[in-house]
């Protein structure tokens, strides 16, 4: 296939739009069926796609210094700028005014809201680098990803109290909420699927994954008493099955194409980092008491934000230092 695969940008763009919509919708996830549906697939698929796009041949030969250098200006610098801006806006350093480094270290251990993903992504990539340095093949890579996912899903749901006692609240929270090692299951599966050659038709995986996902939504809608283990099992199974046909069709460019969504996908890093800022501004200035009014303002604000990103990328040199 020649040129850039538009479906890769399109799928990334669609998932980023789902992230934005999921953050804009008000109410707790368990109290908002729309948010619940979005949260059931958008992050597993995005993590899986991140693994699929990992260039294993490129990172395999990197030293540890080269590995982290690879993510310096492209990922870590824009993330650090976003961290600082959100921290200043939210007054995150107020409880640690002197010395300032204590406030910053506290914030690094607890990145604001959505900013955990960058730390998680580098962590999953680092685990992948370690496995590749040991020359594990794709099958062993997948086995490690499955075992890591199963272990940490179980720990998260059943032994959280013991983890806090053993590691302390800050470290246990950092592992559970920021590194999220259980999501390495999807990342590793994405790495594996890049070379997947199964003869099983795509429709079998699509039907199986779609059925489990619909079951998950129906059970939530009519029976909200599901335990965490059951919920995670259904989410993992549904997304694992759906990733197979979705990534096949993406690789073959059989998914729908829409230029504006592809543009979002091409610039997903900056949009992901900064899309919450308009949300905070509208929440503070307009409020969320009258939701119809709030949704009208936030829709305009997010569109203006996307327009600003477009102008910065097109006309401002060095904007990549902030937008990735």
CA–CA dist 154, 152 (Å, integer): 5
What pLDDT shows up at residue 95? 56
- Quote the pLDDT of residue 110: 80
Do residues 313 and 319 lie in contact, with contact meaning Cβ atoms separated by under 8 Å?
yes
103 contacts 91 by C-beta, under 8 angstroms = no
Tell me the helices (H) and strands (E) count for the chain, helix number first: 19, 0
At what angle are helices 184-193 and 42-52 packed, to 10 degrees? Answer: 50
The alpha helices in 61-137, defined as continuous H runs, are 64-70, 77-90, 100-109, 116-133
Q: Indicate the DSSP class of residue 267.
A: T
**What DSSP string describes 189-226?**
HHHHHTT----S-HHHHHHHHHHHHHHHHHHHHH-TT-
Are 20 and 302 within 8 A, CB to CB?
A: yes
**What's the confidence (pLDDT) of residue 87?**
85
10-residue averages of pLDDT along the chain (324 residues) = 83 97 90 91 96 90 88 88 88 59 69 92 95 87 93 92 87 91 96 88 96 94 80 95 97 95 96 96 93 95 97 91 88
pTM confidence score: 0.92
């Amino acid at each position: 296939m020649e040129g850039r695969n538009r479906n890769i940008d399109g799928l990334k763009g669609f998932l980023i739009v789902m992230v934005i919509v999921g953050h804009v919708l008000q109410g707790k996830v368990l109290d908002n069926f729309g948010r619940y549906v979005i949260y059931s697939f958008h992050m597993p698929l995005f993590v899986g796609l991140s693994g699929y796009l990992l260039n294993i041949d490129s990172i395999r030969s990197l030293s540890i210094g080269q590995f982290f250098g690879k993510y310096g200006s492209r990922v870590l610098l824009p993330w650090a700028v976003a961290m600082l801006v959100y921290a200043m806006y939210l007054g995150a350093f107020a409880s640690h005014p002197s010395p300032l480094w204590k406030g910053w270290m506290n914030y690094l251990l607890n990145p604001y809201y959505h900013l955990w993903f960058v730390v998680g992504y580098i962590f999953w990539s680092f685990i992948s680098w370690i496995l590749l340095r040991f020359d594990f093949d794709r099958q062993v890579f997948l086995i490690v990803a499955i075992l890591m996912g199963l272990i940490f899903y179980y720990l998260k749901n059943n032994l959280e109290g013991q983890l806090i006692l053993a590691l302390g609240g800050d470290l246990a929270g950092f592992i559970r909420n920021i590194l999220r090692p259980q999501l390495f299951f999807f990342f590793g599966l994405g790495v594996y699927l890049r070379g997947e050659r199964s003869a099983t038709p795509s429709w079998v995986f699509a039907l199986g994954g779609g059925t489990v996902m619909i079951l998950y939504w129906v059970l939530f809608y009519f029976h909200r008493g599901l335990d965490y283990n059951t919920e995670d099992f259904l989410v993992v199974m549904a997304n694992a099955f759906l990733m197979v046909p979705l990534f096949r069709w993406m690789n073959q460019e059989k998914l729908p194409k829409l230029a504006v969504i592809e543009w979002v996908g091409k610039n997903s890093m900056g949009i992901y980092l900064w899309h919450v800022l308009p949300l905070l501004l509208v929440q503070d200035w307009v409020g969320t008491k009258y939701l119809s009014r709030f949704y009208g303002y936030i829709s305009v604000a997010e569109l203006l934000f996307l327009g600003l990103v477009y102008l910065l990328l097109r006309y401002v040199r060095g904007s990549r230092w902030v937008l990735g």
